[in-house]
Amino acid sequence: MSNVTQRFEGYGALITGAARGIGEATARRLAAEGARVLIADVNDEAARKTAADIPGAESFRCDVGDRSQVEAAVAYAVECFGSLDVLVNNAYSCSLDAPLIEDQSDDSWERDLNITLTGAFRCARAALPALAATGRGAIVNIGSVNGEQDFGNHAYSAAKAGLASFTRTLAGDVASRGVRVNQINPGTIRTPGWAGRDAEMARLAETVYPLGRVGEPEDIAAAVAFLASRDAAWITGTTLRVDGGLLAVNMAFPAVVEAR
């Protein structure tokens, strides 16, 4: 990425679930703007591979479901970079729904909430002292349109909705310490989780997305970079939709009306 403003020169950033997809794109974007980034992921091999391809990046195996691993990741970031200025909570779990809600297991429900929602809490709790110490700390949580509207996945959707609430309450709690907290709600993004489903992606782009395409990881990375930067210095407690117009425009309704 050439001719990019160096908004994050001297910054240290920790990104969870950063070995691939949105997390990887975000790491590349922040690094391109001057940050040193810690690729934190439960997949240690993939994290090391991604970090090796990003100048100045480090990797760390981190399961956000484990408090000790989260605290170790934060300590490692501070040790490597001298400060921690940005935390991006991107790690998540999304279990398949059972055909009937009464058949949904406690384990799948609890895993999605533990990783997606409580994991973000663990990371924020561990990182806040370091973030507050810089005077420019920012947390960006990666939510989902699933937290606002029904697209299936009960537990994942509940966790993402809870994450939006946590974003607001945490923003109020830490504002006096100079830390901002915001959230991004992506729509369908072309990540490895959608691999092999090109036909579905094409139908989604044509039938439900007003802008005529699904999102790319770089679309979310650009939004993260804005909210984490001083360009957003007077923004906190907000949730930004980056969804191609999905939730704002009902494409099915006018199609039916015009067909009458």
Amino acid at 52: A
Backbone CA torsion sign across 151, 152, 156, 162: positive
Do the beta carbons of residue 221 and residue 191 sit within 8 Å? no
What b/e sequence results for 200-238 when a residue is b if at least 16 CB atoms lie within 10 Å of its CB, and e otherwise? eeeebbeebbeeeebbebbbbbebbbbbbbeebeeebeb
Q: Give the pair of three-digit tokens for residue 248.
A: 């704002």
| 92 among known catalytic residues | no
| 156 among known catalytic residues | yes
Q: Which candidate in 11, 76, 92, 156 is catalytic?
A: 156
Helix axis angle, 154-174 to 106-113, nearest 10°? 30
What are the backbone angles phi and psi of residue 183, rounded to the nearest 5°? -135, 150
Number of alpha carbons in the 13 Å side-chain half-sphere of residue 7: 18
Q: How far apart are CA 162 and CA 159, in angstroms?
A: 5
Q: Which candidate in 11, 76, 92, 160 is catalytic?
A: 160
Helices marked H in 10-138 — which ranges?
21-32, 44-52, 67-81, 106-113, 119-134
**Active centre residues (catalytic):** 156, 160
